[in-house]
């Protein structure tokens, strides 16, 4: 079974209610932007199509909506650094404080406090974003190492199911980059690049425990998101019906968008709180295993890039010390 407490995870998220509300505003705002801009695009397409035949109008309505959807996605792509810096990292910062038994401000002060912690650790959004991108790449390399270890195990039929396992693990590791960022915040390091390296090695050498719990949380997270998707199908279809020309794909797409918003705003914080419990408990008293350092270093250019950035940062690497309890 899993190694985290569901009750404690819910309690931790509940104590960060200001951040949950903040996340809801951000992610539901994003969902609303998708609906409004897509609807506006479909409306423009419908108007343009009025100058042609009915088939042309249907086609122009569809492409108008598709362009509106893509335009919204493009704008959000450029805002992803801000979302990571202010929303995700900030929430992780207060969750770390609570797990360690520290007090945090209530209300709006909680968000301001978290922003200060994140700025102290990462200086600016571009640093955090660059670390996050490198971490994601290294996690992929670690998964390759894990799959390589599994492939040589004498388990009958293992190779036949590895394709399914690999696909599932790609989803399951989605929470790990948040855990790596949490380690950097928790250790109060002056060198976030070196801290990320250390956290990745500690994760790699405990991959069995981490992946087992990540797998359970993936089931919980996407199971709940699927339920939300089913609930949202009817109202989303009603919204799509209001779009000029009846944008047929709208109901399904809008339901997906709103399910994603609920997942990102409410369900994901629970999963992160659970993973932080597991990670910090598992690595307590551990130091990075040189064998795992060599494995990851040999398998990932991005891990080596983290090392280069750490050296350039000019601070002592925390990898030589023990993991903080």
> Is the pLDDT assigned to residue 113 strictly greater than 90?
no
Q: For residue range 63-76, list pLDDT tens digits in order.
A: 888 898 899 988 88
pLDDT of residue 322: 43
Distance separating alpha carbons of residues 135 and 44, to the nearest angstrom = 42
Distance separating alpha carbons of residues 26 and 76, to the nearest angstrom = 11
Question: In terms of pLDDT, which residue wins out, 153 or 143?
Answer: 143
Residue 152's φ and ψ, nearest 5 degrees, are: -100, 0
pLDDT of residue 164: 57
> Is the pLDDT assigned to residue 291 strictly greater than 90?
yes
Mean pLDDT, to the nearest integer, of 229-253? 72
Q: Which residues contact 10 (CB under 8 A, 6 or more apart)?
A: 270
pLDDT of residue 141: 81
How many structural domains comprise the chain?
A: 1
**Residue 7 confidence class, pLDDT cut points 50, 70, 90:** very high
Mean pLDDT, to the nearest integer, of 32-39? 86
Mean pLDDT, to the nearest integer, of 254-282? 90
pLDDT of residue 139: 80
Mean pLDDT, to the nearest integer, of 252-275? 88
Residue 137 domain flag = yes
Residue 165 domain flag = yes
| 3-state percent helix, strand, coil for the chain, nearest multiple of 5 | 80, 0, 20
Residue 1 domain flag = no
Residue 186 domain flag = yes
Distance separating alpha carbons of residues 299 and 140, to the nearest angstrom = 10
Q: Which residues contact 250 (CB under 8 A, 6 or more apart)?
A: 38, 39, 42, 65, 236, 237, 239, 240, 243
**Residue 172 confidence class, pLDDT cut points 50, 70, 90:** low
Residue 325 domain flag = no
Distance separating alpha carbons of residues 225 and 262, to the nearest angstrom = 7
Q: For residue range 87-111, list pLDDT tens digits in order.
A: 888 899 999 999 998 888 877 788 8
pLDDT of residue 222: 87
Mean pLDDT, to the nearest integer, of 212-231? 88
Selection from 65, 271, 111 nearest residue 179 by Cα: 271
Containing structural domain, residue 304: 6-320
Residue 222 domain flag = yes
Buried b (16+ CB within 10 A) or exposed e, 237-265: eebbeebbbebeebbebbbbbbbbbbbbb
Residue 221 domain flag = yes
């Amino acid at each position: 079974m899993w190694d985290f407490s569901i009750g404690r995870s819910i309690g931790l998220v509940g104590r960060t209610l200001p951040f949950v509300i903040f996340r809801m505003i951000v992610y539901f705002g994003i969902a609303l932007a998708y609906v409004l801009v897509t609807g506006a695009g479909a409306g423009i397409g419908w108007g343009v199509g009025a100058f042609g035949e009915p088939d042309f109008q249907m086609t122009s309505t569809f492409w108008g909506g598709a362009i509106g959807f893509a335009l919204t996605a493009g704008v959000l792509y450029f805002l992803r650094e801000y979302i990571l810096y202010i929303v995700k990292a900030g929430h992780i910062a207060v969750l770390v404080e609570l797990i360690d038994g520290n007090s945090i401000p209530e209300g709006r002060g909680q968000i301001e406090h978290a922003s200060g912690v994140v700025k102290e650790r990462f200086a600016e959004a571009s640093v955090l974003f660059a670390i996050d991108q490198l971490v994601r790449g290294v996690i992929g390399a670690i998964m390759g190492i894990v799959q390589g270890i599994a492939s040589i195990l004498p388990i009958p039929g293992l190779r036949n199911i590895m394709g399914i396992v690999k696909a599932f693990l790609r989803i399951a590791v989605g929470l790990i980059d948040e855990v790596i960022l949490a380690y950097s915040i928790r250790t109060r390091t002056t060198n976030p690049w070196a801290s990320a390296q250390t956290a990745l090695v500690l994760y790699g050498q405990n991959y069995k425990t981490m992946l087992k719990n990540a797998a359970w949380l993936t089931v919980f997270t996407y199971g709940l998101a699927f339920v939300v998707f089913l609930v949202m199908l009817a109202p989303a279809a009603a919204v799509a019906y209001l779009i000029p020309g009846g944008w047929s794909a709208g109901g399904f797409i809008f339901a997906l968008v709103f399910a994603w918003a609920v997942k990102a705003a409410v369900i994901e914080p629970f999963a992160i709180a659970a993973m932080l419990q597991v990670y910090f408990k598992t690595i307590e008293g551990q130091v990075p295993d040189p064998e795992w350092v060599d494995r990851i270093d040999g398998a990932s250019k991005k891990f080596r890039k983290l090392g280069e950035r750490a050296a350039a940062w000019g601070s002592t690497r925390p990898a030589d010390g023990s993991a903080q309890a």
